[in-house]
């Protein structure tokens, strides 16, 4: 798997930047939250990439497997926590979007700006 | 074979992310986001993170998508064409990407067993957790035992998010009051919320509602 070298990291950076661009360049608030989710997932992929060992297997003990290589379990634990926290964050974000829609009648950034002037 | 699957999934993820960016219909964008989550769950299986893959498939592709669809039902699902030119965001994104790629140049190679990440506390978990905790799945024993406080903190975050969502959604647009001459007109006698007042006035006002009034307003509305 060393043939892959840095490919995974570069793919993660590409995904991250697509999410980041969606977040800062799109005016629609729901679209921004989708962009945030893309960004989050790319960070998860980055961590899991770091935990992978070539020729390894999932870190669950197998019977009589003394010379089995297990991948690093710590990034997995961290990302399990991060996934759940990420969903909690987007839930709060989406309910803010609903409140903004109720208050301004729109979820487009520039229209909200016009209205609040 | 593993390399092939890895590359194929990453390319598909890239295509999906890009088409989410281009998509003007928010309903389609949310569906694509579900596909994106599911593809990343597949990638986690390839990279030996089976527990993460479960969670991503259930929570990322399932619950997130449902939350977004629920939001779209309330806010509508078409996106306007952005009016300003995207030159500045594009510049920021390319610059950040370039800096990050520069940062990867001396990062350890993918899959190398001698990476520093594998040499701190991970070997201890892999060697001892079977005797110390007695669960074959190392991720479970780290999550529930070695890093139990971490998981408890996570639960606190979810609770805080739940309270936030409930507060945000339960305040609602219901008891809108009009402020005239500095005096607030109560709507409790009429039994109906006064909603003629502009949104701007009602907004500052909802923040000043005392708890008793709020309960009344809720039961009325």
Q: What is the pLDDT of residues B78-93, one digit of tens each?
A: 777 766 778 888 999 9
Give the distance from residue B212's alpha carbon to the nearest chain A alpha carbon, in angstroms: 22
Distance CA A81, CA B151 (A): 7
The residues, ordered by sequence, that sit 6+ positions from A31 with a Cβ below 8 Å of its Cβ are A22, B26, B29, B79
What is the rounded end-to-end Cα distance, in angstroms, of chain A? 56
Kind plus residue range of the DSSP H or E element containing A19:
helix A7-25
Cβ atoms within 10 A of the Cβ of B101, count? 15
* List of chain A residues whose C-beta atoms are within 8 Å of the C-beta of residue B172: 102
Distance CA B177, CA B108 (A): 61
Of B20, B109, B126, the CB nearest to A38: B20
Number of residues in chain A: 117
Handedness of CA B117, B120, B121, B124 (dihedral sign): positive
pLDDT at B157: 92
CA-to-CA separations, B18 to A18, B32, B151, in angstroms, rounded: 7, 10, 34
Q: Which of B18, B17, B19 is nearest to B43 (CA)?
A: B17
Q: Contact at 8 Å (CB) between B111 and A52?
A: yes
Structural domains of chain A in order of their starting residue, each with its CATH number: 7-59+69-116 (1.10.287.3510)
Q: The tokens 């799945």 sit on which residue?
A: B137
Q: Taking 70 as the threshold, does the pLDDT of residue A88 lie above it?
A: yes
pLDDT at B142: 86
User: Would you state the torsion angle of the CA atoms of residues B112, B44, B15, A28, taken in this order, to the nearest 10 degrees?
Assistant: -120
pLDDT band at B19, cuts 50/70/90?
very high
Q: Taking 50 as the threshold, does the pLDDT of residue B11 lie above it?
A: yes
pLDDT band at B94, cuts 50/70/90?
very high
Burial code (b: 16+ CB inside 10 Å, e: under 16) for B110-141 equals bbeeebebbeeebeebbeebeeebebebbbbb
pLDDT band at B181, cuts 50/70/90?
low
pLDDT band at B31, cuts 50/70/90?
very high
Distance CA B33, CA A94 (A): 15
Q: What is the largest CA-CA distance in chain B?
A: 75
Q: The tokens 């998508």 sit on which residue?
A: B65
Q: What is the ipTM of this complex?
A: 0.91
Shortest CA distance from A117: residue in chain B:
B200
What average pLDDT does the segment B155-179 reach?
Answer: 78
- Give percent above pLDDT 90 in chain B: 33
A68 near B CB under 8 A: no
Q: Taking 60 as the threshold, does the pLDDT of residue B191 lie above it?
A: no
- Every domain of chain B and the residues it spans: 1-78, 141-171, 172-220
Between chain A and chain B, how many beta carbons pairs sit less than 8 Å apart? Answer: 285
Distance CA A91, CA A83 (A): 12
- Do B96 and A31 lie within an 8 Å CB cutoff? no
Q: Contact at 8 Å (CB) between B144 and A43?
A: no
The residues, ordered by sequence, that sit 6+ positions from B54 with a Cβ below 8 Å of its Cβ are B41
- Do B111 and A102 lie within an 8 Å CB cutoff? no
Per-residue model confidence as pLDDT tens digits over B45-84:
998 889 999 999 999 889 999 999 999 998 887 777 766 7
Distance CA A94, CA B71 (A): 7
What average pLDDT does the segment A87-103 reach?
Answer: 91
Q: Taking 60 as the threshold, does the pLDDT of residue B218 lie above it?
A: no
Per-residue model confidence as pLDDT tens digits over A20-31:
999 998 888 999
A93 near B CB under 8 A: no
Distance CA B32, CA B203 (A): 35
Phi then psi for residue B137, to 5 deg, are: -85, 115
Alpha helices by DSSP H, listed for chain B, are 2-22, 26-46, 50-55, 64-75, 87-104, 122-132, 138-141, 148-171, 199-206, 211-220
B201 near A CB under 8 A: no
- Give percent above pLDDT 70 in chain A: 95
Q: Which two tokens stand for residue A49?
A: 């990439």
pLDDT at A3: 52
CA-to-CA separations, B70 to A26, A28, B16, B33, B75, in angstroms, rounded: 21, 16, 22, 15, 9
């Amino acid at each position: 798997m060393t043939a892959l070298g840095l490919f995974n990291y570069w793919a993660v950076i590409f995904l991250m930047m697509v999410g980041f661009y969606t977040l800062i360049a799109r005016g629609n608030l729901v679209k921004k939250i989708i962009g945030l989710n893309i960004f989050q997932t790319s960070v998860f992929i980055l961590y899991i990439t770091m935990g992978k060992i070539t020729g390894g297997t999932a870190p669950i003990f197998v019977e009589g497997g003394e010379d089995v290589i297990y991948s690093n379990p710590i990034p997995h634990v961290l990302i399990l926590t991060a996934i759940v926290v990420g969903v909690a964050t987007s839930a709060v974000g989406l309910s803010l979007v609903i409140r903004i829609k109720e208050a301004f009648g729109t979820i487009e950034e520039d229209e909200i700006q016009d209205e609040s002037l | 074979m593993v390399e092939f699957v890895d590359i194929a999934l990453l390319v598909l993820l890239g295509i999906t992310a890009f088409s989410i960016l281009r998509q003007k219909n928010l309903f389609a964008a949310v569906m694509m986001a579900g596909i994106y989550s599911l593809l990343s769950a597949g990638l986690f299986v390839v990279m030996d993170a089976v527990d993460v893959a479960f969670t991503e498939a259930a929570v990322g592709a399932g619950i997130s998508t449902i939350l977004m669809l629920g939001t779209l039902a309330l806010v509508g699902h078409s996106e306007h064409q952005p009016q300003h030119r995207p030159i500045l965001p594009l510049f920021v994104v390319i610059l950040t990407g370039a800096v990050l790629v520069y940062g990867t140049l001396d990062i350890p190679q993918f899959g190398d067993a001698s990476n520093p990440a594998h040499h701190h506390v991970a070997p201890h978990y892999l060697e001892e957790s079977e005797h110390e905790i007695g669960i074959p799945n190392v991720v479970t024993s780290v999550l529930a035992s070695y890093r139990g406080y971490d998981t408890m903190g996570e639960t606190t975050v979810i609770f805080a998010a739940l309270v936030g969502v409930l507060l945000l959604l339960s305040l609602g647009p219901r008891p809108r009051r009009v402020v005239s001459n500095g005096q607030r007109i109560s709507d409790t006698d009429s039994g109906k919320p006064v909603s003629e007042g502009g949104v701007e006035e009602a907004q500052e006002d909802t923040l000043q509602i005392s708890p008793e009034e709020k309960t009344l307003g809720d039961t009325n509305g």
